[in-house]
A and B are shown apart, each in its own frame.
Chain A
Amino acid sequence: MTAPDEKKPTAPDRREFLARCGQVALGGLFVIKCTPALADLVASDGADDIPEWAYAVDTTKCIGCGACMRACRAENNVPESQFRTWVERYEIRGDHAVRIDIASDENNATFLSNATPAAEAKDGRVKAFFVPKLCNHCETSVCVQVCPVGATFRTKDGVVLVDPEHCVGCGYCVQACPYSTRFINKETHTADKCTLCYHRITKGLLPACVQSCPVGARIFGNVKDPDSEISRVLRERRYTLLKPELGTNPRCYYIGLDMEVV
């Protein structure tokens, strides 16, 4: 639009003007669409240095103490009755009756009152275990797909994040996540969920939940590094994924899961 016209037509040609408007509009769209892609290109320079974070939960180790829940709440200012991570308690009787509730994180004792009465095992035998839950940082994440404004995105190092400055708070991602790990934060009115403590891991620290687990049930690390604990665990142990049939490709691996776990 700015280039001076050498021919200097006496009257502005309407058709030409419209065509130019169209070009400018298309150009604008191109810029809008290309900015993130360009940023990606820049970021992927020297891709080998970029870690690939993954998470594993060893359900055979978890003792349901809830230290992780408290650590997460404190570290990330998670409002009361909303959860970036939680620990489920399963009790399975001999006749397959299942009782599930949430291990208390003390700030949120409400959940225990929602629990069903303890399963009565006639023969007194009950299989019981704990399953910590958090965002799975899915590789083909539904939440990234459905966010209408692109506020939810997946970083090059494999973490799904929300830009709280850009999120409009529509809640579509909350509905779309099959694992219910998202919520609309009561205080910020934007989508919120586990970030793997991105502010910590990018400085070489562990996520708060991993750091605080007294038994090492939560394992985190770079799968590109063959010597990392996570690489070793994934090499040596048998694991499964949550709701694999939905095609979300979670990057959170569960060790020792029972079929009753949802």
Chain B
Amino acid sequence: MFEFVFPNDLNVTWSVMIVLYPYITGLVAGAFIVSSLYHLFGQEALKPVARFSLASAFVFLIFAPLPLLIHLGHPERAFNIMITPNFQSAMAGFGYIYTAYLIVVAIEVWLVVREDLIARARGTGPIALLCRAALLFNVRSTEATRAADHRAAKFLAGLGIPMACLLHGYVGFLFGSLKANPWWSTPLMLIIFIFSAIVSGISILVFHYMTISRINGWKLDRPCVRTMGKFLWGFMIIAVSLELLEVMSVAYKQTEEWEIIGKLIGDKLFWSYIVLQYLVFSLIPFFLLAANALFKLRLKVSNTVVFIAASMLLVQVILMRWNVIIGGQMLSKSGRGFTSYVPGIFEKEGLITAAIIFTAPFLILYLFHRVVPLFPVEAMQKKTA
């Protein structure tokens, strides 16, 4: 009964690259929201990671279109999407939304690091020259300029939130609006994507900040980690509940679609969806983060707890992307069968390419840090034994 696949459905069209793309934009949106929590909503505890999160958002944003370009059959025609857009298509907005958001984030980063650039620009040598160029050769810094920069940065932080949601929510909408695919077609998809983005964004910051501190032997900022852990807990509850509610409503309604979706979840995606995404990588972080938020744990314990939870949630979100995007294509539109997909390792859209694209932003962040520190001085104090 369940074994007929339309012949063109045997090949999966959207590959690992299309799993990576929403993962990366999710990190962008999430990291940006963390930076805005500080810059806009006065979450002082997040000060140590405020600039770091903004820079992370920026750097990941630069790399976000790369998987898309690699995936396109004709990347040299990519700009057609802006030259001859078909505005009936949700995808046509990508070029504009992306560019506008990139500009907003770039200017905000620039405003936030201006003071440090000015300090670097005073010296001599190529880096100083570069910094002067980056400052458009305006190295004036007074009380008034600083205040103006601050105001402008705050404004952009505010503007950036709806844009971040738009950039990422629109990816969810892109899937959610495809009526041909019962696993995708739900208006909830958009909201699910936004919340899972925030979860992945906070997680990557926790993971990265704690790893860097560890490597450099810095003293971890305890309130900062605990606050991030609390936010992570809150956002993950919303994200996972929404994901669950969506499936539960389809299951309860028992429509025609459930017959095939039930099979998809219970059989084809049993391991990656039920066992890994929910039972392992959602449930365990939930309890860990609950412990962090509700109990007064010993410093070391609570740090470890948040670190493990964040690392696991990073995996949870990539599993979620995989289960949505690849899972949706395993389901044939015949509604009567499944195809399978195993990503290649060395091929153009394979795992090695994915790993390179995913590692590159970290290297750029490192270079960034060499020019302008990503963390405030307080956060970079060595641990005194």
- Chain A residues in contact with chain B, CB under 8 A? 32, 81-83, 86, 88, 97-98, 100-102, 108, 111, 114-116, 133, 142, 144-151, 166-172, 174-184, 188-190, 246-247, 262
Do B6 and A180 touch across chains, with their CB atoms under 8 A apart? Answer: yes
A108 contact set on B, CB distance < 8 A: 7
Identity of the chain B residue whose Cβ is nearest the Cβ of A182 in the assembled complex? B8
List which B203-244 residues lie within 8 A (CB) of chain A. none
Identity of the chain A residue whose Cβ is nearest the Cβ of B9 in the assembled complex? A180
Shortest A110–chain B CB gap in Å is: 9
Contact with A along B173-198 (1 / 0, CB 8 A): 01000111100000000000000000
Do A150 and B84 touch across chains, with their CB atoms under 8 A apart? Answer: yes
Do A83 and B7 touch across chains, with their CB atoms under 8 A apart? Answer: yes
Do A262 and B89 touch across chains, with their CB atoms under 8 A apart? Answer: no
Cα distance A110–B83 in the bound complex, in angstroms:
42
Do A180 and B332 touch across chains, with their CB atoms under 8 A apart? Answer: yes
A172 contact set on B, CB distance < 8 A: 89, 91, 174
Question: Can you name 17 extra interface pairs (CB under 8 A) apart from A167-B77, A175-B181?
Answer: A81-B11, A88-B4, A98-B1, A102-B7, A114-B5, A142-B178, A148-B91, A150-B86, A168-B78, A170-B91, A171-B71, A179-B333, A180-B6, A180-B7, A180-B333, A184-B13, A188-B73
Q: Is B263 an interface residue (CB 8 A)?
A: no
Cα distance A151–B13 in the bound complex, in angstroms:
18
Do A262 and B336 touch across chains, with their CB atoms under 8 A apart? Answer: yes
Shortest B120–chain A CB gap in Å is: 32
Do B14 and A147 touch across chains, with their CB atoms under 8 A apart? Answer: no
Do B85 and A169 touch across chains, with their CB atoms under 8 A apart? Answer: no
Do B91 and A175 touch across chains, with their CB atoms under 8 A apart? Answer: no
Shortest A135–chain B CB gap in Å is: 11
Do B73 and A183 touch across chains, with their CB atoms under 8 A apart? Answer: no
Partner of B91 from the list A116, A146, A246 (CB cut-off 8 Å) is A146
Contact with A along B77-111 (1 / 0, CB 8 A): 11011011110111110100000000000000000
Do A167 and B3 touch across chains, with their CB atoms under 8 A apart? Answer: no
Do A168 and B336 touch across chains, with their CB atoms under 8 A apart? Answer: no
B94 contact set on A, CB distance < 8 A: 148
List which B331-351 residues lie within 8 A (CB) of chain A. 332-336
Q: Is B280 an interface residue (CB 8 A)?
A: no
B174 contact set on A, CB distance < 8 A: 172
Q: Is B72 an interface residue (CB 8 A)?
A: yes
A171 contact set on B, CB distance < 8 A: 13-14, 71, 73
Do B9 and A178 touch across chains, with their CB atoms under 8 A apart? Answer: no
Do A168 and B74 touch across chains, with their CB atoms under 8 A apart? Answer: yes
- List 26 contacting pairs A-B, 8 Å CB cutoff, sorted by A: A32-B84, A115-B3, A116-B3, A144-B88, A146-B90, A146-B178, A148-B89, A148-B92, A149-B80, A149-B84, A149-B85, A168-B72, A168-B73, A168-B77, A168-B81, A169-B72, A170-B71, A170-B73, A171-B13, A174-B13, A175-B180, A178-B333, A180-B7, A190-B74, A262-B4, A262-B336
Q: Is the interface of A mostly helix, strand, loop or mixed?
A: loop
Q: Is B10 an interface residue (CB 8 A)?
A: yes
Shortest B30–chain A CB gap in Å is: 25
B84 contact set on A, CB distance < 8 A: 32, 149-150, 166
Partner of A32 from the list B13, B75, B83, B335 (CB cut-off 8 Å) is B83
Do B335 and A262 touch across chains, with their CB atoms under 8 A apart? Answer: yes
Size of chain B's interface in residues, with CB distance under 8 A?
A: 43
B83 contact set on A, CB distance < 8 A: 32
Shortest B12–chain A CB gap in Å is: 10
Do A178 and B10 touch across chains, with their CB atoms under 8 A apart? Answer: no
Do B13 and A175 touch across chains, with their CB atoms under 8 A apart? Answer: yes
Cα distance A189–B84 in the bound complex, in angstroms:
20
Do A147 and B72 touch across chains, with their CB atoms under 8 A apart? Answer: no
* B80, B86, B88, B92 pick with most chain A CB within 10 angstroms: B86
Closest 4 CB pairs of A and B: A169-B73, A189-B73, A148-B91, A178-B180
Cα distance A174–B107 in the bound complex, in angstroms:
38
A178 contact set on B, CB distance < 8 A: 179-180, 333
B71 contact set on A, CB distance < 8 A: 170-171
Do B10 and A246 touch across chains, with their CB atoms under 8 A apart? Answer: no
Known contacts A145-B88, A169-B73, A172-B89; A83/B8 CB under 8 A: yes
Do B14 and A175 touch across chains, with their CB atoms under 8 A apart? Answer: yes
A176 contact set on B, CB distance < 8 A: 178, 180
Cα distance A32–B174 in the bound complex, in angstroms:
24
A115 contact set on B, CB distance < 8 A: 3
Identity of the chain B residue whose Cβ is nearest the Cβ of A177 in the assembled complex? B180
Do B89 and A146 touch across chains, with their CB atoms under 8 A apart? Answer: yes
Cα distance A168–B68 in the bound complex, in angstroms:
11
Cα distance A188–B73 in the bound complex, in angstroms:
8
B72 contact set on A, CB distance < 8 A: 168-170
Known contacts A149-B85, A178-B179; A167/B92 CB under 8 A: no
A116 contact set on B, CB distance < 8 A: 3-4
Identity of the chain B residue whose Cβ is nearest the Cβ of A188 in the assembled complex? B73
B81 contact set on A, CB distance < 8 A: 148-149, 168
Identity of the chain B residue whose Cβ is nearest the Cβ of A98 in the assembled complex? B1
* A114, A115, A149, A167 pick with most chain B CB within 10 angstroms: A149
Do A148 and B179 touch across chains, with their CB atoms under 8 A apart? Answer: no
Shortest B172–chain A CB gap in Å is: 14
Shortest A187–chain B CB gap in Å is: 10
Known contacts A81-B10, A172-B91, A179-B333; A147/B74 CB under 8 A: no
